[in-house]
Amino acid sequence: MKYKVWVRCATFNHALYITSTMDGFCHQQTKFPFLCIILDDASKDGEQEIIKQYLCDNFTVECVEDTDDYHLTVARHKENKNCYFAVYLLRYNHYSVKKSKEAYYQEWIDGANYVALCEGDDYWTDEYKLQKQADALDANPQAFLVYTSFQVIDGDGKPISRPHIKEFPRRSHSGDNLPTLLRHGNYVMTLTTMYRREVWQSESLANCPCKMDFALTLSAALMGDFIWLPEQTACYRSLENGMIASDLRKGVHWAQDIYRYYAGLVMNGQCKPLSLGQRIHLTILILRRALKRKDHQLKKDTLKSNLMSRLLLPVAYVWLKCDRLKENIKRWNKV
C-alpha cells in the first residue's frame, strides 16, 4: 500500500489528550491515503488502553504483530477510508533504556511522499490540513517544508499566551527561511508541519548529534524553500511537565549543539547553492549569534572555517551593538 502522507505521532503518558489527537487524524479529508504511525512508549497512565479502545470503536484491524518489544496493530478507519493507523504499543519504555525508536517509524517511510508530525498532547483543528499542505508541496517542487499558524492552549484546553511563542507568526514566511532560523532559532511549530520525505532521509539529519525538531527544520532549510500558510490548523498544548519544560537546561544545550552542527554545514558549503551575498549574510548571522550568546565554541569553529569569516567578525560586532541599541531605545520609549 502506498501512502502519500505519513504521519508521525510519538506519545507517552498522554491519556488525557490522545483521543483529541487521534480525532484530529481521523477527521482529515483527503483525496489520497495517509498512514498515522502512533508510537506509545509504554505509558503508565492508561493511555495504551485508551488507544486500544479507540481502535476497536473506529477501525477495522488488518493485521497484528507481537514481539518482545511491541504490540503492533495496522488498521483502516471504518468511515474515512483514506485513514490508516499503524499503532505501536511498546512493552517497555525505550527512552529510559536509551533504545532508539526510529526503526519502527522508518519501516513505513519509503511508501510516502510527505511526512507530517503531531505529538500525543497536541491536535489538528483543520480537517483539510493534510490536503492543503500536500497540494502546496505538489505545486512547489523547490519547497521542502510547509507550515502554518496555530493556537496555544493549556492542559485544560484553554487558550493562553506564551511571550516567546507570540513572535513565531511574525517571523514566519515563505521562501528561504535559513537566514531567519540562523538569526532567531526555531519558530516552526512541529505540529503544523509537513516535510518532503527526502528531509527525513537526508545525510544532514542522519549525522546530527541531536535529532530534535529544530534539527529537522534546519535540514529542510539547507535543502530548499519553505511555504508559510497563515491559517490556524492546530492546537499546541503548553504543559509544565513537557520534556523541554521539565528540563530547560538540557533543552538549551540540545538546541545549542544543533545550531553549532548546522552552522558548520553552512560554513563548509554542505547545503543548497548560495550566492556570495548569501554566504556573507549567513556568516554574519552565525557570528552575531556566537557573540550574543557568548558561545565561544561556535565563534571559534566559524572563524576556523575560512578567511571570509575572520574578515566579517567586526561587521558582526557592529550589527550586534546596533541591535542592542534598538532594544534599549524600545525600552526607553515604554518608560
State mean pLDDT over 112-130.
Answer: 97
Q: How far apart are CA 331 and CA 165, in angstroms?
A: 20
- Sign of the torsion angle spanned by Cα atoms 41, 243, 51, 76: negative
**Among 88, 83, 86, which residue's Cα sits nearest to residue 11?**
88
Q: Which three cell numbers stand for residue 115?
A: 511526512
Q: Is the pLDDT of residue 240 over 80?
A: no
Residue partners of 76: CB distance under 8 A and separation at least 6: 59, 60, 62, 83, 84, 85
The tens digit of pLDDT for each residue in 30-53 reads 999 999 999 999 999 999 999 999
Rounded Cα–Cα distance for residues 283 and 9 (Å)? 36
204/217 Cα distance (integer angstroms) = 11
Distance CA(138)–CA(112), nearest Å, equals 13
Query: Which of 19-28, 63-72, 121-130, 326-335 bottoms out in mean pLDDT, i.e. has the lowest?
Result: 326-335
Q: Does the pLDDT value for residue 24 go beyond 60?
A: yes
pTM over cut 0.85: yes
Q: Which of 26-40, 73-87, 185-199, 232-246 has the lowest mean pLDDT?
A: 232-246
The upper half-sphere exposure of residue 82, i.e. CA atoms within 13 Å in the direction of its Cβ, equals: 17
Are 72 and 42 in contact by the 8 Å Cβ rule? The answer is no
**Average pLDDT estimate for 108-122:** 93
Are 144 and 196 contacting, i.e. CB atoms less than 8 angstroms apart?
A: yes
Per-residue confidence (pLDDT) for residue 246, from 0 to 100:
46
Residues forming beta bridges with residue 234, ordered by sequence position: 124
pLDDT in tens, 256-294: 999 999 999 999 999 999 999 999 999 999 999 999 999
Interstrand relation of 59-66 and 70-77 (parallel, antiparallel or unpaired): antiparallel
Sheet (strand 143-153) strand order? 59-66, 70-77, 83-90, 34-40, 5-11, 114-117, 194-196, 143-153, 225-237, 123-124
pLDDT of residue 242: 52
Strands (E), 101-183: 114-117, 123-124, 143-153
